[in-house]
């Protein structure tokens, strides 16, 4: 039994690890609290049972094309602002390092109950692991005239504050919290690092396949307006709160099919709000005005784009579209013609899908992470995950590294993406690097400097390469500056013909993902 600020909880011992699941860190975000910032939970009397995962946030199911690779459990209930703790030594005095995990899922899917995120392996190795649920989709990231922005991000901040205030009772050290996330979770972690309200709460951070960003407000508004149009209601929080939750999720999924990581489109994301996100988070972090004392571990997978394009056969489809797909990628990345020409020269045997995929991956991930590392040499460490899945076509795709980081390759949900027979020695290497980083800030290879060391986790022994992506990164005019949402110097702005081509490609992506 462990005491929390709102009442005592009783967990379970599982293979020598104390596990506490479904602890509320905030009140259920429904009724009068819907679309509002999180509030503290009601205190409870007696001892609350913490043996099972709590409810997950409302979310649509993955399409059939993605569900064959990704698991996303649904646990019904309104009390979805909850977290889980795995610890080897519950009770004050141990002061172990803490890893706080924010799941991915494009801010529309995912939860802390995904079996791949089993924190027992971190606890086994002396790190208290905490995983968090937060509001998703329109509930967490809709933009309305009658409600505050970014409620899902505010949930994450509330969870971080809970951990900082409460984790010592579970054996953790509140001064050694590593904020860790993948994909949307990494973007969230980066935005929180730049938030003034989070200052002093985080000692280290891990950004896996996601870079700090704030999206254009109009991009989020378009999602809300399209949903409102289908529902025939005003685009207000009050009107959305009156819609049946299942109908709202179905409408969100239908509208979301028009968006794609490769070609963009309207989407949910965090926006500059003048409060929690007072300015562009990447600028805040690279210009030294935020989280200057936080150690960083950042990286990507070699073939991120393959999870975006392989399901439903989109790789072949993009290859067939050729110039249209390249035009769409240029518009997505605000890139001039020199950028795809440069990729063609560097990778003459690559198909259109690979060129498009790597361009978008660099634009979204590698360029901003390079800039962040350049701004923080000596305290940043970079990696690339390069082991290819044993399933056809996936390569070293987005999210594949998760089963290795958590050393959870033995669960069926990891094998859905990795296939049968993933190398345990690779999991040992990655997991131990994350443990070392959470413990000391030193994962086991050189910190970023002018030689650009990148640890490569692939087939065989991990090794350090120097500048393995420099040639591609140098193709981007803004590689050493924060990009603006306008075409690169010398490029023509996308005209009506290009915009129409992008729309056709987006519709094709939507149809194939149904």
Token code pair at residue 165: 């205030």
Query: Rg of the Cα trace of the chain?
Result: 22
Q: Where are the beta strands (DSSP E) in 218-377?
A: 295-301
Backbone angles phi, psi at 489, to 5 degrees: -55, 130
Task: Specify the residue for token string 């936080």.
Answer: 294
Catalytic residue among 139, 304, 354, 384: 304
Q: Residue 470: enclosing H or E segment and its boundaries?
A: helix 470-473
Task: Specify the residue for token string 């190795």.
Answer: 125
Q: Which of 304, 296, 308 is nearest to 379 (CA)?
A: 296
Catalytic residue among 131, 183, 188, 260: 183
Burial of 389 (0-12, 13-18, 19+ CB in 10 A): buried
Token code pair at residue 485: 């949402």
Q: Examine the residue annotation and report whether 484 is marked as an active-site residue of this protein.
A: no
DSSP β-ladder status, 7-10 and 12-14: unpaired
Residue 368 to residue 473: CA distance in whole angstroms: 10
Query: Following CA atoms 285, 277, 113, 28 in sequence, which dihedral angle do they give, to the nearest 10 degrees?
Result: 160
> How many other C-beta atoms lie within 10 A of the C-beta of residue 487?
16
Q: Examine the residue annotation and report whether 334 is marked as an active-site residue of this protein.
A: no
Could you give the residue ranges of the DSSP H alpha helices within 80-205?
Answer: 120-124, 137-141, 151-166, 184-194
Task: Specify the residue for token string 């939507």.
Answer: 510
Give the relative orientation of helices 323-333 and 314-321 as an angle to the nearest 10 degrees: 100
First to last CA, the chain: 46
Residue 141 to residue 432: CA distance in whole angstroms: 34
Residue 181 to residue 188: CA distance in whole angstroms: 8
Longest dimension (CA), the chain: 67
Residue 137 to residue 246: CA distance in whole angstroms: 13
Q: Examine the residue annotation and report whether 398 is marked as an active-site residue of this protein.
A: yes
Is 199 in contact with 177 (CB distance < 8 Å)? no
Q: Which of 291, 324, 53 is nearest to 195 (CA)?
A: 291
Q: Which of 428, 212, 395, 194 is nearest to 303 (CA)?
A: 395
The DSSP call for residue 60 is P
Catalytic residue among 6, 103, 381, 398: 398
Active site residues: 183, 304, 398
């Amino acid at each position: 039994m462990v005491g929390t600020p709102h009442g005592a909880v009783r967990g379970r011992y599982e293979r020598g690890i104390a596990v506490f699941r479904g602890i509320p860190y905030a009140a259920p975000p429904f009724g009068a609290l819907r679309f509002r910032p999180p509030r503290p939970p009601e205190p409870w009397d007696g001892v609350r049972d913490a043996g099972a995962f709590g409810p997950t946030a409302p979310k649509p199911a993955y399409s059939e094309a993605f569900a064959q690779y990704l698991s996303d459990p649904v646990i019904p209930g309104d009390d979805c602002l909850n977290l889980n703790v795995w610890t080897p030594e519950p009770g004050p005095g141990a002061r172990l390092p803490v890893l706080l995990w924010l799941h991915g899922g494009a801010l529309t899917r995912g939860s802390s109950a995904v079996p791949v995120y089993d924190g027992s392996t971190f606890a086994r190795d002396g790190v208290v692991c905490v995983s968090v649920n937060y509001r998703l989709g329109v509930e967490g990231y809709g933009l309305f005239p009658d409600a505050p922005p970014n409620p899902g991000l505010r949930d994450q901040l509330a969870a971080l504050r809970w951990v900082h205030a409460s984790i010592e009772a579970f054996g953790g050290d509140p001064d050694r919290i590593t904020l860790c996330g993948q994909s949307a979770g990494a973007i969230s972690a980066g935005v929180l690092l730049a938030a003034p309200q989070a200052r002093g709460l985080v000692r280290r951070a891990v950004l896996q396949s996601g870079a700090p960003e704030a999206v254009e407000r109009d991009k989020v508004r378009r999602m809300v307006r399209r949903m409102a149009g289908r529902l025939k209601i005003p685009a207000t929080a009050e009107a959305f709160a009156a819609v049946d939750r299942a109908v709202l999720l179905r409408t969100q999924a239908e509208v979301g099919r028009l968006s794609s990581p490769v070609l963009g489109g309207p989407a949910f994301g965090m926006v500059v709000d003048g409060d929690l996100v007072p300015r562009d988070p990447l600028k805040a972090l690279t210009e030294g005005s935020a989280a200057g004392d936080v150690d960083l571990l950042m990286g990507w997978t070699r073939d991120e784009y393959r999870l975006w394009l392989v399901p439903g056969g989109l790789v072949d489809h993009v290859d067939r579209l050729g110039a249209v797909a390249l035009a769409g990628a240029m518009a997505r990345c605000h890139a001039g013609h020199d950028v795809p020409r440069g990729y063609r020269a560097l990778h003459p045997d690559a198909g259109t899908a690979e060129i498009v995929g790597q361009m978008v991956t660099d634009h979204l991930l590698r360029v901003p992470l390079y800039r962040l590392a350049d701004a923080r040499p000596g305290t940043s460490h970079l990696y690339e995950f390069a082991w290819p899945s044993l399933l056809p076509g996936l390569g070293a795709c987005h999210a594949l590294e998760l089963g290795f980081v958590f050393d959870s390759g033995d669960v069926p949900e990891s094998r859905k993406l990795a296939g049968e027979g993933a190398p345990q020695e690779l999991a040992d290497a990655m997991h131990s690097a994350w443990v070392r980083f959470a413990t000391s800030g030193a994962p086991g290879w050189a910190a970023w400097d002018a030689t650009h060391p990148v640890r490569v986790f692939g087939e065989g022994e991990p090794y350090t390469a120097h500048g393995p992506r420099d040639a591609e990164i140098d193709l981007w005019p803004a590689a050493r500056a924060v990009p603006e949402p306008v075409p690169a110097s010398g490029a023509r702005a996308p005209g009506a013909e290009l915009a129409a081509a992008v729309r056709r490609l987006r519709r094709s992506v939507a149809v194939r993902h149904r």
